[in-house]
């Protein structure tokens, strides 16, 4: 469902719910950005979102960014990689993305830096930290974060801006919230150690109010904006 009218209505609802969650948490709504996640939706859905004034879009597959960037070459779009990234995709990412939120290992940092130097570009990056117990969730183990952040200083093309996480899939809001709180505590700790990490990307359609309560500066919202995805 990517009807432009529906999309506009969905966007207004999400923006209002984000603002409400901010007020409930005693935060200024201007502190929390919404990253629309357009994965699985085609260029026409992205175009409809652009008509609403949006221009940053989250995607989890590099091939999809390639296809959409080609179809939307006339638009100024910032593509944000939010999915697990294979090292052999670094070349396309360096060429097409404006930001990577799923940086989770040194090998990937090295590959991105090498390709970015060739392209003469730099990228904003967030380090994805594993806060959920599920084996399937990717991300850097939390105890490795301080060392990793120090190692990233060797890659000048990567501008580290903060942290990202995916919460556990649970019916229990307490368990979900604990993941977000852990990311916030890691931010505090690493900031105290001298790292600059102003951004926290956490929360999706199902759990963004909890993430905002715990300090998210950015929520990644797909379904609630674009509609439900057909299972791949
Ligand atoms: C798909 C995805 C989202 C958005 O999920 P929704 O439940 O559709 O809002 C957020 N973050 C990541 C990493 C994703 O892959």
Per-residue pLDDT at 169? 92
Q: Using alpha carbons only, give the angle 169, 65, 222 rounded to the nearest 5 degrees.
A: 35
Task: Output the pLDDT for position 231.
Answer: 53
Q: Is residue 16 part of a domain?
A: yes
Q: Is residue 135 part of a domain?
A: yes
Q: Where are the alpha helices (DSSP H) in 168-222?
A: 173-192, 208-213
In a domain, 232, yes or no: no
Structural domain boundaries, residue 97: 4-226
187 lines ligand 1 (CB under 6 A): no
Does residue 231 belong to any structural domain of this protein? no
Atom of ligand 1 nearest to the CA of 82: 13
Using CA atoms of 148, 153, 159, 161 in order, give the dihedral in degrees to the nearest 10. 50
Alpha-carbon distances of 162 from 93, 141, 200, 221, rounded to whole Å: 19, 15, 6, 18
Does any domain span residue 105? yes
- Residue 40 Cβ < 6 Å to ligand 1: no
User: According to the model, what pLDDT value does residue 232 have?
Assistant: 46
Q: Is residue 78 part of a domain?
A: yes
Structurally, the chain folds into a number of domains equal to: 1
Q: State residue 137's pLDDT score.
A: 75
d(CA 46, CA 36): 9
Does the pTM surpass 0.85? The reply is yes
Give, for 23, the enclosing helix (H) or strand (E).
helix 4-24
The two structure tokens encoding residue 51: 């008509």
List, for the chain, all residue ranges whose pLDDT scores fall below the cut of 50: 1, 232
In a domain, 48, yes or no: yes
Q: What is the pLDDT, as a whole number, of residue 134?
A: 82
Residue 47's CATH number? 3.20.20.10
Candidates 17, 49, 58: which one to mutate for ligand 1, based on the most atoms within 8 Å of Cβ? Answer: 58
Q: Is 205 in the pocket of ligand 1 (CB under 6 A)?
A: yes
């Amino acid at each position: 469902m990517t009807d432009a009218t529906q999309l506009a209505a969905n966007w207004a609802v999400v923006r209002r719910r984000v603002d409400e969650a901010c007020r409930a948490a005693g935060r200024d709504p201007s502190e929390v950005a919404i990253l629309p996640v357009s994965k699985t939706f085609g260029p026409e859905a992205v175009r409809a979102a652009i008509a609403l004034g949006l221009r940053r879009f989250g995607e989890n597959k590099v091939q999809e960014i390639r296809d959409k960037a080609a179809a939307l070459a006339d638009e100024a779009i910032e593509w944000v990689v939010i999915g697990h990234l294979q090292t052999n995709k670094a070349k396309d990412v360096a060429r097409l993305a404006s930001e990577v939120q799923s940086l989770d290992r040194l090998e990937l940092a090295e590959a991105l830096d090498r390709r970015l130097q060739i392209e003469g570009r730099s990228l904003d990056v967030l380090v994805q930290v594993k806060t959920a117990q599920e084996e399937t969730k990717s991300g850097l183990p939390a105890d490795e974060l301080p060392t990793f952040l120090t190692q990233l200083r060797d890659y000048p093309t990567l501008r580290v801006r903060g942290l990202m996480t995916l919460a556990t899939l649970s019916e229990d809001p307490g368990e979900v919230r604990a993941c977000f709180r852990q990311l916030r505590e890691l931010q505090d700790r690493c900031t105290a150690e001298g790292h600059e990490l102003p951004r926290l990307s956490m929360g999706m359609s199902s759990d963004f109010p909890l993430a905002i309560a715990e300090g998210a500066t950015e929520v990644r919202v797909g379904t609630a904006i674009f509609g439900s995805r057909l299972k791949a």
